[in-house]
Chain A
Amino acid sequence: MNFLKWRERALESLFLICALTAIVGVLLVFIFVTIKGFPIFEKVGVLKFLFSLDWSPSDNKFGILTFIIGSFLVTAGALALGAPMAIMTAIFLSEIAPKRVQKLVRPAVELLAGIPSVVYGFFGILIIVPVVRTLFGGSGLGLLTGWIILAIMILPTIATISEDAIRAVPKSFREASFGMGATRWQTIWRVVLPAAKNGLIGATILGMGRAIGETMAVLMVLGNAPIIPKSLVGPVGALTSIIALNMSYASGDHQTALFGMGIVLFMISFFFVALIRLISRKRS
């Protein structure tokens, strides 16, 4: 075999190995977390683990429903606040803003995605917590603060992907609509958004995945109590923040339970990814 051919083969293999790393990584994490966490399902029982509200590791009670509910509450609120804002940002950037304004706003949105989550947490503690405490009472650490911080954090994810989806709508649709005497608002609302619908849903699900997996910032602002919050400002624990907080000292069954929560988180994000795939396949 001559050198050129050999080099072709070598390069192909190199690229293949790089691509495989992603798959191997996912598999390794999955296997590791499953091995470490699976015993808790046998010990406590799947149903009891998933659907019991009773979480007190010192008494060997490992029901994580409180945190599943916590995670979903935090995510749902963050989406309700963040997704409309993000999609409106995307509409503004792609349909309304003049080029000069776009040049100012787009980097700002992208920069938002680059801020480390611990800095968001910091910002939350210093600014949002006192504001929430003053306006709504409570300690300021809790559900509402989590919503606000997460809404800001998922905004760039949803906004950039939504903008791509909106820009992908053919210009001819807009021209046809304007050509019949539609206003800009009618064109956006009745033609552009429906045509970009799948992309917008995909963007929102991606934001959802980001919100449910976010750890550091929510850990810093949620209060992390093992209870279901009774009010908007009550403390709440999310799967991620509880794992992160407990991992440093947990041992034995407690540690196994944390890995079990990891499996649950893994399943949730797996579900989201599958959902996005399904939607994008429907489009084509």
Chain B
Amino acid sequence: MAEPVPADAIQENMLSGDKIDVRDLDFYYGDFKALEGVTVGIKRNAITAFIGPSGCGKSTFLRSLNRMNDLIDGTRVEGTVLLDGKDIYAEDVDVVDLRRRVGMIFQQANPFPLSIYENIAYGPRIHGLRNKAELDTIVEDSLTKANLWKEVKDKLGQPGTDLSGGQQQRLCIARVLAVNPEVLLMDEPCSAIDPTSTQKIEDLMDKLKDNFTIVIVTHNMQQAARVSDYTAFFLAEDTNLPAKLIEYDMTDIVFTNPTDKRTENYITGRFG
């Protein structure tokens, strides 16, 4: 984590068009090594899906991309994660700004117990915006981008928690969009909502990828096949062994012509 990133690595990253470039990442919970040797380049303005059985470390890996794991005591990262060529684990990195740039959507929609308006205004406010007119604009913009404006524009003062599950999840997406992120990390965003709402979120993702880099963790292989451009398959051979990145390629290739036998077994439903 502390060792300097080789200059050629940075240069390569700048040229490759990868938004995030992870090199040889190991992740530890205390003494337990949960991830080993993950090297992956996450493409700009594309949707990358992380798939794999439960406990394969894909959520852990996702959360290491905006240092959410820092909040868990006793976790440790080795290796480098370059965001636009800059190591996010370097000592001079402002974690608060990193998390603004790399926003996160969670499995369980988690709107604050505030009004719809205040949920969206929360982010801009914590980053220092006070002007009411500007806040109004951001709220409308963000809700529009999240395909939710038409449904809620007449009830912005109502509690965000009164919305349906799918709407709540889109509210959470709007809330993240309000702080103007570059990357969206989505941790199984549809696992707790119905198929119609899932459809809406997937449509939304497709629209958002023009302006954002999106990474989604999903248990649902059809979803990965439907929405993603790239797919990474993670697997831990055994519960007490660290998980590894088994295969990473364009989604079409991973699903139709995987290189690794284990990937093929997983996507054809032979385990997991």
Binding partners A and B: yes
With A172-B106, A176-B172 given, is the CB distance from A181 to B127 under 8 Å? yes
B108-116, B144-152, B223-231, B232-240: which lies at the A interface? B108-116
Does A186 sit at the interface, judged by CB under 8 A? yes
- Would you call B96 and A179 a contact (CB within 8 A)? no
- Would you call A181 and B113 a contact (CB within 8 A)? no
Q: What total of chain B residues lie within 8 Å of the partner, measured CB to CB?
A: 28
Does A107 sit at the interface, judged by CB under 8 A? no
When the two chains form the complex, which single residue of B71, B73, B114, B179 contacts A180, counting CB atoms closer than 8 Å?
B179
Nearest-neighbour CB distance to chain A for B219, whole angstroms, equals 19
Does A60 sit at the interface, judged by CB under 8 A? no
Majority SS of interface residues in chain A? helix
Does A175 sit at the interface, judged by CB under 8 A? yes
With A and B bound together, what is the CA distance between A155 and B104 in angstroms? 38
Does B100 sit at the interface, judged by CB under 8 A? yes
Per-residue A-contact encoding for B144-178, CB less than 8 Å = 1, 0 else: 00000000000000000000000000001001100
Residue contacts A-B, CB under 8 angstroms, 11 given? A170-B110, A172-B110, A173-B112, A175-B104, A180-B100, A180-B123, A180-B176, A180-B179, A181-B100, A181-B127, A191-B122
Residue of B nearest to A179 (CB): B104
Nearest-neighbour CB distance to chain A for B186, whole angstroms, equals 11
With A175-B68, A180-B99, A181-B123 given, is the CB distance from A99 to B73 under 8 Å? yes
With A and B bound together, what is the CA distance between A174 and B99 in angstroms? 13
With A and B bound together, what is the CA distance between A115 and B221 in angstroms? 61
- Would you call A191 and B112 a contact (CB within 8 A)? yes
- Would you call B73 and A179 a contact (CB within 8 A)? no
Residues on A with C-beta less than 8 A from B111 are: 176
With A and B bound together, what is the CA distance between A98 and B110 in angstroms? 26
Does B97 sit at the interface, judged by CB under 8 A? yes
Chain A residues 93-108 with CB under 8 Å of chain B are 98-99
Does A194 sit at the interface, judged by CB under 8 A? yes
Per-residue A-contact encoding for B170-208, CB less than 8 Å = 1, 0 else: 001001100100000000000000000000000000000
Does A182 sit at the interface, judged by CB under 8 A? yes
Among A170, A178, A183, the one with the most B-chain Cβ atoms within 10 Å of its Cβ is A178
Residues on B with C-beta less than 8 A from A182 are: 96, 123, 126
Nearest-neighbour CB distance to chain B for A183, whole angstroms, equals 6
Does A277 sit at the interface, judged by CB under 8 A? no
Residues on A with C-beta less than 8 A from B179 are: 180-181
Residues on B with C-beta less than 8 A from A186 are: 126
Residues on B with C-beta less than 8 A from A43 are: none
Nearest-neighbour CB distance to chain B for A238, whole angstroms, equals 39
Residues on A with C-beta less than 8 A from B122 are: 177, 180, 190-191
Chain B residues 118-138 with CB under 8 Å of chain A are 122-123, 125-127
Residue of A nearest to B104 (CB): A179
Does A109 sit at the interface, judged by CB under 8 A? no
Contacts across chains A and B counted by CB atoms under 8 Å: 69
Known: A172-B106, A175-B104. 8 other contacts (CB 8 A): A172-B110, A177-B122, A177-B126, A178-B71, A179-B99, A181-B101, A183-B126, A195-B112
- Would you call A175 and B110 a contact (CB within 8 A)? yes
Nearest-neighbour CB distance to chain B for A61, whole angstroms, equals 53
Nearest-neighbour CB distance to chain B for A103, whole angstroms, equals 14
When the two chains form the complex, which single residue of A99, A170, A180 contacts B126, counting CB atoms closer than 8 Å?
A180
Per-residue B-contact encoding for A65-105, CB less than 8 Å = 1, 0 else: 00000000000000000000000000000000011000000
With A and B bound together, what is the CA distance between A228 and B172 in angstroms? 56
With A and B bound together, what is the CA distance between A175 and B63 in angstroms? 11
Residues on A with C-beta less than 8 A from B126 are: 177, 180-183, 186, 190
With A99-B73, A182-B126 given, is the CB distance from A176 to B99 under 8 Å? no
With A and B bound together, what is the CA distance between A190 and B125 in angstroms? 10
Chain B residues 41-76 with CB under 8 Å of chain A are 66, 68, 71, 73
The 4 closest A-B pairs by CB, nearest first: A181-B100, A172-B110, A179-B104, A181-B99
Among B68, B99, B125, the one with the most A-chain Cβ atoms within 10 Å of its Cβ is B99
Nearest-neighbour CB distance to chain A for B120, whole angstroms, equals 11
Nearest-neighbour CB distance to chain A for B138, whole angstroms, equals 13
Nearest-neighbour CB distance to chain B for A283, whole angstroms, equals 10
Does B242 sit at the interface, judged by CB under 8 A? no
Residue of B nearest to A99 (CB): B73
With A179-B104, A181-B96 given, is the CB distance from A173 to B110 under 8 Å? yes
Residue of B nearest to A181 (CB): B100
Does B103 sit at the interface, judged by CB under 8 A? yes
With A and B bound together, what is the CA distance between A170 and B107 in angstroms? 14
Residue of A nearest to B107 (CB): A172
Residues on A with C-beta less than 8 A from B106 are: 172, 175-176, 179
Chain A residues 149-206 with CB under 8 Å of chain B are 170, 172-183, 186, 190-191, 194-195
With A and B bound together, what is the CA distance between A190 and B119 in angstroms? 11
With A180-B100, A190-B126 given, is the CB distance from A195 to B113 under 8 Å? yes
With A180-B176, A183-B96, A190-B122 given, is the CB distance from A172 to B108 under 8 Å? yes
